[in-house]
Structure 1
């Protein structure tokens, strides 16, 4: 439980220089505990979770499924703190520099370049995924996303939580013939000025849109398998030319861009633009159900260059004060039960990280039932690997100069 300090702190504690740092359980010490001892230590704990809060369906899933389960089954209280990953990383960086071992959060929703930054700057708790029973029982170690996150070795510092594909949502009442390739999308934007845009590239979704443009410039996805500065120098002129060719046709003539996906979604909901986009091919269902998106919303993938797949993860900060309770929460969120519930479009409608070979027939049937006959699924032939996070940084460094200015 988060520590509460009283005025009557004893002199003996002061003399002993008691501190949260002395009480913190290290990753090595935690590894010596068996799961029953971890559960016992977690009872009564209050933990916080830093997570993006821009999607009501995601928040509803945490509040209605995860929070009650942890409370009823483990006496663990979870509170979510809506915050973008760069913001909580800045906070953790400041706490690290100040030697603050009494952290606010115990669980992090993280991936990609943010995971790389956190790992390189020692902002994470340490290796822990080998302690999670559900990691072995339902996920295993065969999938590449268990080992590599956008070019960064995971080494047990984060557990996979969800798999999604990049897709576009459009208003079928306004778009008669939706594009199926990047070139067709550019052409549609030019023919329909002001009806399309993408978020600023500091936003993960906007950056990922440019990543698709990178794939469209490449002769083969294999060219981008590893980060290659020489390839970028040889091909960036074509990339920026492609973006500049249709910039004037964008919303507000490309003079400004939505700050993030939440703003683009709102613009789409308000009818300012005819398209939005994002990772999670099933997200339109819950947005329609919540009366955010129009009922005429449809979802498409671009057949060329394809659709980038993305995995996101759960980790722990270096200064968690409740590592046992954090493990309990993460272990539940990667369980077959929680992952299957997450498929429900009325709750979240997001892809799972389970290995189907490790599931029972009943669990597989539940997954099929949630997906349904009309589920939007990307063709395996068009699924693209997530790019090394250094491409993400390169896009941020170059985009404003080459496109905005």
Structure 2
């Protein structure tokens, strides 16, 4: 699959390059009021990960209703994993298909890097969005997993990795990766993680990589193949040694984060994990998790990142996509998705830039007892790794863990 993807990237890059069409130039030259006017009465097809019922519900209710009310735009959520729609874009670019069926994408990490390298994204467009210029710090969203954004992505949320546990079953969670390993050995069959490249499972893999190889700092200066070759064996040795002590003796892994949630909720395992700090509280509110569930982070740190939206090079409704991307960055949308009963997604905007009443509304959001305080999360925060490391980790996990 990866060989085929790389082949398509090369074909796409050779096909038409990154040159702008007259239509693209026209959209980028319009002021936002003109874009909003031209987008009225249209449909925007938003392709995005569909693995969370809560996120899907927030989009299908709040986002769709507000976009219709404010802009007379119909938002159609299309569930599709990012590697699938990126592959589709690469194929369309190589085939010279100038009008596609995707208008907006939820994308980041290696999928964004691959898309940029193949020239299949539209932009730069974020400086045309009034909410971005009003409420956001461009420096905080200048890179996606270390790769320059250059205005081709609009930030709309932040996430951070946490572990989940039930205090009724596990009174005291591990504090370090070494303690986690001890706990797994002492509680055989009670721990697992989603199979990479599932986003949460891959994040856990990167957490272990940082913690078993001396921390994140050494990886912040771009990809270093020799460094990876030297350090990665320690990560897979740690994972491999613990594999027999996992749920199902490590013979199989949950296919995604939702499957992991189900195992935890049913009591088949005693720990879960999420890339959303308020995920446990959201599950408590929907009565899926007991009220005794809490979250924790390890002393070695908790990875955080920003998630973005982007526009395909051949989107048929670029104006509508820009209006939707702008709405998702609005204080109203950011506040709505910050509430755990809706999603619990961390805001990407700068709350300090808001008016006093808006700041107060964010400050008053009850994140619940299961959510760690922002002081704890901030102190534990470590940045994401370059996409090249991520891709190698996922490939080698298949070889050294799944295949053994």
Kept after mapping to 2: 8 A contact 1:27/1:128: no
RMSD: 1.6
More displaced stretch, 225-234 vs 204-213: 225-234
More displaced stretch, 229-238 vs 80-89: 229-238
In the superposition, the TM-score normalised over structure 1's length comes to: 0.90
The one-character-per-residue Cα deviations of 1:236-274 (angstroms, maximum 9, x if unpaired) are 232222112211100111111112212211222222211
- Name which one, 1 or 2, has greater alpha-carbon Rg: 1
Q: Which runs of 5+ in 2 are unaligned?
A: 1-20
Match of 2:285 among 285, 289, 292: 289
5 Å-filtered alignment, 1:6-405, equals 26-143=23-140, 146-226=141-221, 227-303=223-299, 305-371=300-366, 374=369, 375-377=371-373, 378-404=376-402, 405=404
Q: Which runs of 5+ in 1 are unaligned?
A: 1-23
Kept after mapping to 2: 8 A contact 1:198/1:264: yes
Q: Secondary structure at the match of 1:354?
A: coil
What is the aligned partner in structure 2 of residue 19 from structure 1? none
What is the aligned partner in structure 2 of residue 12 from structure 1? none
The one-character-per-residue Cα deviations of 1:317-374 (angstroms, maximum 9, x if unpaired) are 1111111111111101001111011111111111001113321111111111114584
Runs of 4+ that moved beyond 6 A = none
Whole-angstrom distance in 1 between the partners of 2:368 and 2:201? 31
More displaced stretch, 178-187 vs 189-198: 178-187
Q: Secondary structure at the match of 2:139?
A: coil
Kept after mapping to 1: 8 A contact 2:46/2:76: yes
Kept after mapping to 2: 8 A contact 1:218/1:224: no
Kept after mapping to 1: 8 A contact 2:44/2:317: yes
In the superposition, the TM-score normalised over structure 2's length comes to: 0.90
Kept after mapping to 1: 8 A contact 2:351/2:362: no
More displaced stretch, 234-243 vs 57-66: 234-243
The one-character-per-residue Cα deviations of 1:23-59 (angstroms, maximum 9, x if unpaired) are x863322121111211110011011100111112111
